[in-house]
Chain A
């Protein structure tokens, strides 16, 4: 580890803290009921008034919009051979792969069982994938808005209440925030060297006289939303490790910042909406504390390097699967950011991380993507943990559990447990199936514990809607295309539906004033409790599987046992 490496990490965290409040204020303007210019005409055009929806109405809108998105994206991918902007003449995508890819991009996962530059037409990348990069991000933020309303609104106590309107939330976030921000980011990325062209490739004759075909495309416009929307699906096969998708250390810093910035800002939107910014800062502090632990372990493990290779005479940290321009610190930081935030873009190959580095990336996802998390999803995810935490605190001290003035009762607890239990149930369940079924066992590249890690990582990534991979796994088979798609779908909507149901219930509850009997949900004690609950629930559930994978792998590598 170096001083400059730590400076990068600390400056990054500092910039996120500095951006959180202004970004939170921008998001608050979209969350707020006051009309925005031109929007009335838009709602008239799509045939949906800005009237309030019950949680069921909101959930129905989310499902209809996303299922329609899957159908449209599947169709585009299947038919790309007859659609325009296909300069390389790629064929239509195989059905299972198209199904997997459609579910993947609509659920904000962006798991990719294909290499972009060898599979997809420009039309598929633009009108197919870029669109869902925007819409899945907007869906996540919309659900987060609905969840914030549940706490911000003074309910009538009748148990029936509305939580906003999905169509206005999703339209506002897409057109008034993501689109203009991405236009600026696109220009910035192009200035740093990211291509933006409709040409497919150029042929070069290298200095030594060989022929090199250099793939190009409309990369920058997709890259901008891929990071800002925590989508993570690369234009190229190797994602943001590709020099065209991340040319410099500065473009890399910008990418990391844009992964975190909306998720961090949402915590302050929440604080502003409930009239107490400290509630928001506290959530952000808990997130960043967990984040700092993760990034420290990865950086330490990667800088310590690989003892097997040291024995051969190799110096220093682990550079297999990393780029020289990023080095160890930035790659460790990016690996922590992308897995904590459900982004899934990579600048170094996670499969080649030393076992303890790989462990942290997996664990970040298994905690439910609540350390900043996917845009929106991370926010309602951590609030569900907050509900669980006030309940546990209530049990310990004998107080009625309340969070931000809303009583937490049996209905909320049941739904919160469902939302949390979906994750281990499907990650471990699908991993278990894949490790006994022949088509599952055919997937991993590595043998031994690391092979198990490749499978465990895949389902952790899918169900948590991350999208990064231990890339050695051969995922483009019917078995993995189907099971991963199931994991992604259930992981996404198995969290959104309970979250909206909780929101609907809480929105109707009377807001209680803070009294001497209420448990304080700001401050260091609460940060510690929340972080502990997240770690204990996540840790205990996944520890046995991690012991079989990365932990066993670590001891094997330390002992020089190779597979």
Chain B
């Protein structure tokens, strides 16, 4: 066995270095180059800009607290949630007292006591979930309408229009991107009162 190991040392080191150069340097750099040329928008994080200001990424959720906006799911990423430089989940167990308390405390703000849409009170796996379920959006319409003073039917139509459906009917879930929905909302009624 020792002789075999001794003869293996040179090929082991030279192959390791060669493949490090190929798969660890050349491959990711070449892919970066190709991606930046062919699909710069996606390769740089699908950012949404307003003028030259970046207001977020359409793939990454962000905090909304004002009553005139639809709110995203609770988030465990960072101190205040939706810290896109430190993704994190709660990792709380199904039988956790802390989790039960957290959900119980969040339920009154949803305005309902039964059939509460889970997306309103559960944290996501990433802490950056950009979506809520359509049910979770509908449950917030009354609050948004009251804060903005616009007709409920317009907001309802907006939620329906922003609801994305599963690909081919079974790949994915029905969902609403909160950031995109709120931007549409701002388009139909600017500057919501805080």
Contact = CB atoms under 8 A, between A and B. Distances in A.
On whether the two chains bind one another, the answer is yes
Interface of A: 4-5, 7-8, 11, 42, 45-48, 54, 56-57, 59-61, 63-65, 67-69, 72, 115, 117-118, 126-128, 130-131, 134-135, 167, 170-171, 174-175, 179, 182-183, 186-187, 190-199, 201-208, 210, 212-216, 218, 220-222, 225, 236-238, 241-244, 247-250, 253, 306, 308-309, 312-327, 330, 346-349, 351-355, 445-446, 448, 450, 470-472, 553, 556-557, 561-563
Residue with the greatest number of chain A CB neighbours at <10 A, chosen from B18, B20, B100, B123: B20
B125 A174 contact: no
B189 interface: no
A321 B123 contact: yes
Given A213-B85, A312-B103, A317-B118, A562 B97 contact: yes
A237 B87 CA distance: 6
B54 A4 contact: no
28 contacts: A45-B18, A56-B4, A61-B8, A64-B11, A65-B8, A65-B15, A72-B20, A115-B86, A118-B85, A167-B15, A187-B31, A190-B35, A191-B39, A195-B45, A197-B43, A202-B54, A207-B183, A221-B32, A238-B128, A249-B167, A309-B118, A315-B114, A316-B117, A321-B90, A349-B90, A472-B91, A562-B97, A563-B96
Contacts of B104: 312
Residue with the greatest number of chain A CB neighbours at <10 A, chosen from B36, B57, B73, B113: B57
A204 B47 contact: yes
Given A183-B27, A207-B183, A216 B45 contact: yes
B157 interface: no
Given A186-B35, A323-B129, A324-B131, A205 B92 contact: no
B116 A313 contact: yes
Contact of B171 (A117, A249, A314): A249
Given A323-B126, A557-B94, A174 B23 contact: yes
Given A65-B16, A221-B31, A243-B126, A127 B54 contact: no
Given A190-B42, A320-B122, A131 B94 contact: no
A357 to B, nearest CB: 9
Residue with the greatest number of chain A CB neighbours at <10 A, chosen from B10, B94, B104, B182: B94
A244 B59 contact: yes
Interface of B: 1, 4-5, 7-16, 18-20, 22-25, 27-32, 34-36, 38-39, 42-47, 53-57, 59-66, 69, 73, 80, 82-97, 99-100, 103-104, 107, 112-119, 121-133, 166-167, 169-173, 175, 179, 182-183, 186
A208 B65 contact: yes
Given A47-B14, A193-B46, A308-B94, A220 B31 contact: yes
Nearest to B117: A315
B163 to A, nearest CB: 12
A241 B171 contact: no
Contact of A198 (B32, B42, B45, B100): B32
Given A325-B175, A556-B95, A215 B100 contact: no
A161 to B, nearest CB: 16
Contact of B125 (A5, A45, A212, A348): A348
Residue with the greatest number of chain A CB neighbours at <10 A, chosen from B27, B65, B95, B182: B95
Contacts of B126: 236, 238, 241-243, 323
Contacts of A54: 4
A205 B24 CA distance: 34
B93 A553 contact: yes
Contacts of A244: 45, 59-60
Residue with the greatest number of chain A CB neighbours at <10 A, chosen from B5, B24, B112: B24
Given A46-B14, A65-B16, A249 B166 contact: yes
Contacts of B10: 46-48
Given A60-B7, A214-B56, A349-B90, 4 more contacts: A171-B19, A183-B31, A214-B57, A561-B95
Given A210-B63, A212-B62, A319 B118 contact: yes
A175 B21 CA distance: 12
A435 B83 CA distance: 34
Residue with the greatest number of chain B CB neighbours at <10 A, chosen from A117, A237, A323: A323
Contact of B87 (A115, A315, A561): A115
B24 A130 contact: yes
A202 B45 contact: yes
B23 A130 contact: yes
A325 B186 contact: no
Contacts of B46: 193, 247
A324 B66 contact: no
A248 B35 CA distance: 18
B35 A470 contact: no
A285 to B, nearest CB: 24
A118 B66 CA distance: 30
Contacts of B8: 57, 60-61, 63-65
B172 A117 contact: no
A221 B87 contact: no
Given A134-B19, A187-B38, A206-B55, A351 B92 contact: yes
Given A134-B19, A207-B64, A207-B186, A243 B129 contact: yes
Contact of B54 (A190, A203, A326): A203
Given A186-B35, A248-B172, A323-B124, A562 B95 contact: yes
